[in-house]
Amino acid sequence: MWQVFIKSKYATVLLSAVLIFVMVITAKMLVQKRVVDREITKLQNQMERIKKDNEKLSSLIQYLNTSSYQEKVAREKLNLRKDGEYVVVLPQGNATGTSDQQKQQNNQSNYKLWFNYFFDHVN
């Protein structure tokens, strides 16, 4: 009886259906595996980037804890100096050294500047 069933059309249809079912399940598992592998790769890349950032931050922390950096900050922000050093204080303003009068003249129109040049200096 078993041999007769295997040779029948019903067995062929049933075995084909089982084979198709197994193939569909396998394909779904392969797609899921590919998605999981991509996610793993993405997370590994992110982990490497975070490790590099952590290394940079660790080296920055080490630098910030050095006495040379702390001395530099104390000099710049707290205006401290070593014994025997002289501090030079420059007046605040822009680097070109323009005075308020020159700034005012720059805001005047061109004909007023020429008029002032010729007639204000006629002493």
| Whole-number Å distance between alpha carbons of 117 and 108 | 12
pLDDT tens-digit series, residues 38-95: 999 999 999 999 999 999 999 999 999 999 898 888 888 887 777 787 777 777 765 5
What value does the mean pLDDT take over residues 23-46?
98
Residue 4 has pLDDT above 50, yes or no: yes
What's the pTM?
Answer: 0.47
CA–CA distances in Å: residue 95 to residues 22, 104, 108: 80, 17, 22
92 DSSP 8-state letter: P
123 band by pLDDT with thresholds 50, 70 and 90:
very low
Residue 32 has pLDDT above 60, yes or no: yes
| Whole-number Å distance between alpha carbons of 74 and 71 | 5
